[in-house]
Structure 1
Amino acid sequence: MNTTFIKHINRPSLRDQVYQSLKAAIVMLQMEPGQRLNDNELATQFGVSRTPVREALKRLEDEGLVESIPGSLTRVTPLNIEEAQHAFPVVAALHALAARLAVPQVKEADIAELEKWNDSLYDALEQKDVMKAIEADDGFHEVFLHIAGNREIYIALERVVPKIRRLEFARFGSLEGLDSFEQHKKIITAMKNSQSQTAAELVEENWLSLGRLLTEDTI
């Protein structure tokens, strides 16, 4: 089992730290889909008892990132195209809502931030740097979430985004074209013109089009 990403954890909040570390490793594909998980081995690697590891694995199972087969094994859940297809419209709708709430409050500094992240996205896509592309895309949409300031949107996204994030890491680098960059430019224009509905619709389509590209073929 590949455990090179694991660092020894110090108190406090062992359970949360184990959970966050495992979740990041799974989402970023450092732990591969279908990889077996052994709580004894993980506890040793983390330098903790089995209890926080088991609690973290149970939490990840509730979120659909880990699955237990009774009498057999615990493993990282394999990539599920159908699940991602169901998740993308939810993610798209939540981000569209954030955009709709954000437009009336947008400032020039926010527009500059959007343009900065979109330029970073363009550069990352040109370089085929998956990590930086996803980071830049997240940064772009985080601007809307921050302006909207709606905690419930954050909570909902935190639960559903991991269902699509692994697929992004698996396939983002194989996508052709710069559609997201161009779509973002249209979103920025709508923001500048205080067009709440248009911005929301463009944001929603931005996520839905990414979903179509990522789920069009079976992995």
Structure 2
Amino acid sequence: MPAHDAPVPAADTGTSGQSARPVRQALSDSVYEDVKARIMDHEIAPGARVGIEALARALGVSPTPVREALARLESDGLVVKRSLSGYRATELLTRQGVEELFEMRLLLEPRAAALAACHAEEDELDAIEATLESMQAHPGPAGPYSSYRDFAAMDQRFHDAVARAAHRPLLADAVERLHSHLHIFRLSSVQDAGAPTLDEHERVVRAVLRRRPERAAAAMAEHLTRSLERQLTRFEEE
């Protein structure tokens, strides 16, 4: 066959790389959720060392997505990285830690709700309402993490959405960085907490939608105060 008739390799359009990236991201997300669930359910005990190789073998993956998952979990505050001992699961909040966490939330979130009532745009109001409606369709916190994961994620999303609607980026960033829901839900589920949480969220939403900043701040403060009371019952029972 003449040289000019030889088959010409197809040009590399990069499509294989593009298709590989979503697959790799899906694997990374799956490993992240799996390791997070083990930490939330105390399969990885608070304070315990998190072995990358052992986790990779248990999950049937290479160490790379496990390292990526642990880096994300470190930003969530669920693991800490130490120079000589690697990753360890963070310790559970003590009663004092819970009280301090809610003290911070009470400083930040009522103000965020008041500002949201003043400044939220229509699409932000829609997002807050939609998150509340989604929460109403999911079971509240009870049983293993897998059973209430969606509720917990939407609970966090609700508070983050209110904070973003305040149009104060530093305030919203502070609320998000607390990762309060992960730390609270990790302690253990509080029975029958779903219904009062939804009722309290609904009062916040009504005040924000009606552009009533003082009522929005009061509703958020009431929600956080009652949530703190519910969380402290676990320490009294123990």
Same topology, TM > 0.5: yes
1:36 partner letter: R
Is residue 2:132 matched to residue 1:132? Answer: no
Counterparts of 1:112 and 1:75, CA distance in 2: 39
Question: TM-score, normalization: structure 1?
Answer: 0.66
Q: 1:177: how far off?
A: 5.5
Q: Deviations over 1:172-191 (max 9, x none)?
A: 46334511111122112212
2:108 partner letter: L
Higher relative contact order (CA 8 A, sep 6+): 1
Counterparts of 1:87 and 1:173, CA distance in 2: 17
What are the residue-to-residue correspondences of 1:38-53 with 2, within 5 Å?
Answer: 38=51, 47=63
Aligned sequence identity (%): 16
Q: Which residue of 2 aligns with 1:6?
A: none
Q: 1:112: how far off?
A: 3.6
Is residue 2:164 matched to residue 1:146? Answer: yes
Q: Which runs of 5+ in 2 are unaligned?
A: 1-20, 22-27
Alpha-carbon contact 1:65-1:76 (below 8 Å) kept: yes
Alpha-carbon contact 2:52-2:63 (below 8 Å) kept: no
Q: Which residue of 2 aligns with 1:161?
A: 179
Q: Which residue of 2 aligns with 1:76?
A: 89
Q: Which has the larger radius of gyration?
A: 2
Is residue 2:198 matched to residue 1:181? Answer: yes
Question: TM-score, normalization: structure 2?
Answer: 0.62
Alpha-carbon contact 1:89-1:208 (below 8 Å) kept: no
Q: 1:208 to 1:26 in 2, by over 3 A?
A: farther
Counterparts of 1:107 and 1:73, CA distance in 2: 44
Q: Deviations over 1:67-123 (max 9, x none)?
A: 86x9x8963123122212211221232222221221112345444433322222222
Provide the alpha-carbon RMSD of the alignment.
4.4
Q: Which residue of 1 aligns with 2:25?
A: none
Q: 1:67 to 1:80 in 2, by over 3 A?
A: farther
